[in-house]
Amino acid sequence: MAISRTAQISLAVATFGSLAFILGVIAENKKPAAGTPIHGKDVVICKYPSDPTVALGSLSVVALFVSTILGLVSIFYPYKGKSVPTDALFRSTTLVVFFVIAVSVSVLAEAMMIWASVTEGLHRVRNVHHNLDTGCPTAKTGLFGGAAFLALDAALFWLVCQMLTLNARDDYLEEEDPKGEYGQVLATDYENGAGTQPKV
C-alpha cells in the first residue's frame, strides 16, 4: 500500500525533527563538564576528552534545518496537483499564529544549537590560555539539551501547521468548486417538478 504524499511529508518532518532532538540530547550527555588543565611555562593547555559532541551538535543543526524546510514545504506544496494562493491559506488566523510560532521556535532552536556547537568547537581549538587560573570551560550546560527540546517542539508545530493548511485548502477548494451542495440539489429537483405535490 503506497503512502500518500501528505503522510510522506508529515513522516519526514517528524523523522528529522526527532533526529535533531535525539542528536542534541546525546550531545548534551556526552559533553564533558570541563577539560583537564595542563600547566606549562606561563600557559595552561586544556586537554579535552575525544568525544563526538561537536559532530553530534552539527548533525542536529542539519537535521533541524531539513525538518524546517520540509515544514515549509508542507504548507506551500500543491497537494494532488492543486495549488492554493498564499493569501487564501493565511485567511485562517489559527494557521497564521501556528506558522509564526513554528518559524520562531525553529530559528531559536537552530540558533541555540549552532551557538552550543560553535562554542564547544572553539573551546577545543583555542585550548592554550595565558590565564593560569583558567578552568578549561566547555559550552554552557543545558544549551544542547534546550536546543534539542526546541527542535522537537518546532517539528510538532510544523505538523500542526500542515493539518491546519489541509483544512484551509479544503475550505478554499470547496468555495471554488461548490458542486454537489445541498441547496443546489434541492433547487434543481424542485425546478424539475420533484417538489410538486401529487393531485388528489
What would the pLDDT profile of 40-83 be if each residue is shown by its tens digit?
788 888 888 888 899 999 999 999 999 999 999 989 888 777 88
Query: The whole model's pTM is what?
Result: 0.79
More confident residue, 90 or 190: 90
DSSP secondary structure code for residue 127 in this structure: -
Strands 36-39 and 44-47: antiparallel
Q: Alpha-carbon distance 105 to 3, whole Å?
A: 29
What would the pLDDT profile of 79-122 be if each residue is shown by its tens digit?
777 888 888 888 888 999 999 999 999 999 999 999 999 998 88
Domain boundaries, the chain: 5-169
For 25, the grid coordinates are 540530547
For 167, the grid coordinates are 483544512
Apex CA 51: angle with CA 48 and CA 54, to 5°? 95
pLDDT band at 183 (very low <50, low <70, confident <90, very high): very low
DSSP secondary structure code for residue 52 in this structure: S
Q: Tell me: pLDDT of 1 over 50.
A: no
pLDDT value for 178: 53
Strands of the sheet containing 44-47, edge to edge, are 36-39, 44-47, 128-129
**DSSP, residue by residue, 66-88:** HHHHHHHHHHHS-GGG----HHH
Q: Tell me: pLDDT of 187 over 60.
A: no
- Sign of CA pseudo-dihedral 16, 18, 19, 24: positive
pLDDT value for 125: 87
Domain 5-169 sits in CATH 1.20.120: yes
